[in-house]
Amino acid sequence: MKHLCSLLCLLLLALPMSGKERTIKPGQIWPDAAGNHINAHGGGVLFHKGYYYWYGEHKAEKTSSALVGVTCYRSKDLVNWTYCGVALQVEDQVGSDIEKGCTLERPKVIYCPRTGKFVMWFHLELKGHGYAAARAAVAVADKPTGPFLYLRSGRVNPYCWPADWSEADRACADTLQAAHFGQWWTEPWRKAVAQGLFVKRDFNGGQMARDMTLYVDDDGRAYHIFSSEENLTLQVAELSDDFTYHTGRYWRIAPGGQNEAPAIFKHEGRYWLITSGCTGWDPNEARLFTSKSLLGPWEQLPSPCVGPNAKLTFGGQSTFILPVQGKLGAFIFMADIWRPKHPIDARYIWLPITFKDNVPVVEWRDEWVPEEVFE
Ligand code: GAL
């Protein structure tokens, strides 16, 4: 007994010395195991064989362009993260799609059981071309930490109309000419956007793809959800069995609604989508959508955010919703507080999602302990 007591005392003493943190402090510096502020922005988290893997954009001191690539961190408890290196490296080769200096944003990784590969999709803009390319890019790896092999990038689903459009919808969109709508934001322009003005404009070359996330549904089908049509409309596009191609089937969410930064989860048979408006690096009010099917129709509800600065999503922009393993109904809302003048100092907002009358709520907390909140 005496021995047992001494052993327990020793264990208790050792706990704080192990350096394990228990709290998440939204908006503050988040040191990894080596003491460096985590550098994985616009990220996503994959759970695989007992570990969470956090992938994100490596940000430099002075530029938001990609000088390194996609970083990867690993954790068992969601609080303490170990840096696992660069999962996807930008390339030195001039003219490469992912040449150093390109814009590489919002990487997300899913695991494909059919192929045994880890599949990363991200938003890619070519070096020196601002945000004009609006491409989706894909890379694969054999291990969660990479190295990821870059496969290809491009616009999405060329020569395809939205899957749920009728003959009449297609015929209507087919008559729309972007050249006839030189002036944006007019009533006729808005109507044309909703009817697919930009779907038609980009029909041959493929749909634009910027802010994005991935989602694997209960039946194992994977979907790519992204801001398209000049950031006016979100599209949900089905991925192939190996998760590395688009199948040509896609659906639109909130046409003309200007949604970015999509983050999605499913709870009790309902899909919930949190997005932002389009104000670049500046925060705006989060939006909440819900649907019984990933393919729509979606209904918009008021912002889920509650607390100080909730009107501006606490100064952040949504990026991912993390399902906590083994805990039914436990989700973490992930957002980024961007620092465009000092990108490496951008911060993370991780907050638990609670439910009020079955509707998700994201309430601000200065700090919180996942193992207490999700006990
Ligand atoms: C945001 C977007 C970010 C980044 C930024 C550039 O709206 O969500 O991922 O693209 O614009 O201004």
Residues lining ligand 1, judged by CB closer than 6 Å? Answer: 42, 105-106, 211, 260-261, 278, 280-281, 317
Buried b or exposed e, range 348-363, using 16+ CB within 10 angstroms:
bbbbbbbeeeeebbbb
- 259-260-262 Cα angle (round to 5): 100
Cα distances (Å, whole numbers) of residue 5 to 16, 56, 123, 275: 18, 44, 55, 52
> Which percentage of the chain shows pLDDT scores above 90?
94
Written in H, E and C, the secondary structure of 273-292 is EEEECCCCCCCCCCEEEEEC
Pocket test for ligand 1, best of 122, 317, 334 (most atoms within 8 A of CB): 317
As a whole number of angstroms, the distance between CA 193 and CA 352 comes to 36
pLDDT in tens, 41-100: 999 999 999 999 999 999 999 999 999 999 999 999 999 999 999 999 999 999 999 999
Q: What pLDDT does 80 receive?
A: 98
Specify the pLDDT at position 16: 45
Q: 10 Å Cβ neighbour count for 261?
A: 27
Average pLDDT for 118-125: 98
Task: Decide: helix, strand or coil at residue 62.
Answer: coil
Q: What is the mean pLDDT of the chain?
A: 95
For residue 219, the 8-state DSSP code is T
For the residues 30-36, what does the mean pLDDT come to?
Answer: 98
- Confidence band of 19 (pLDDT split at 50, 70, 90): confident
Section 313-337 average pLDDT: 97
Measuring CA to CA, how many Å separate 52 from each of 37, 82, 302? Answer: 18, 10, 31
Q: What is the pLDDT of residue 3?
A: 57
Q: Residue 103 has what pLDDT?
A: 98
Q: Which of 281, 287, 313 to mutate to test the pocket of ligand 1 (most atoms within 8 A of CB)?
A: 281
Q: How far is the CA of 255 from the centre of ligand 1 (A)?
A: 19
CA atoms within 13 A on the CB side of 358: 7
Residue nearest to atom 7 of ligand 1 (CA): 280
3-state secondary structure of 322: strand
* Exposure string for 288-310, b = 16+ CB within 10 A, e = fewer: bbbbeebbbebeeeebbbeeeeb
Residue 46's pLDDT is: 98
According to the model, what pLDDT value does residue 155 have?
98
Grouping H, G, I as helix, E, B as strand and the rest as coil, residue 355 is strand
pLDDT reading at 10 higher than 60 = no
- 18 band by pLDDT with thresholds 50, 70 and 90: low
Condensed to tens digits (0 to 9), the pLDDT of residues 199-258 reads: 999 999 999 999 999 999 999 999 999 999 999 999 999 999 999 999 999 999 999 999
